[in-house]
Amino acid sequence: MGASWGVSHLETTGATNQAEIAQCNAAVNSGTSLVSGFGPTCLVRDNRSWIGFARYNLTDWVKLQAEYIHTTSENQLGITNKDDAFAVGTTFFW
């Protein structure tokens, strides 16, 4: 069993930041954004994920692993989206 956590951060600067926020606000206000302000004109500022996993040895050379992944994304306006995923896989060693 184990866990991990990580963050990816994008910070725009100067005129780029002002232009990005203006485009994102325009998309949100006009209703053209795809999901809660995460349209094609809104850059993501932060992606944060944590993962919990468990591994089981089926045999000496086959391992089964299951993972739960929770991700939160935040755009330049501070609007967030959350996602949860579950993955199962095997590893073969020889």
Q: Which two tokens stand for residue 2?
A: 């184990």
pLDDT tens, position by position, 7-62? 998 877 666 677 777 777 777 777 655 555 455 557 788 999 999 999 999 999 99
Nearest to 26 by CA among 16, 15, 41: 41
Q: Which two tokens stand for residue 65?
A: 């692993």
pLDDT (0 to 100) of residue 38: 52
| Amino acid at the residue 64 | L
CA distances (Å), origin 54, targets 1, 65, 92? 4, 6, 16
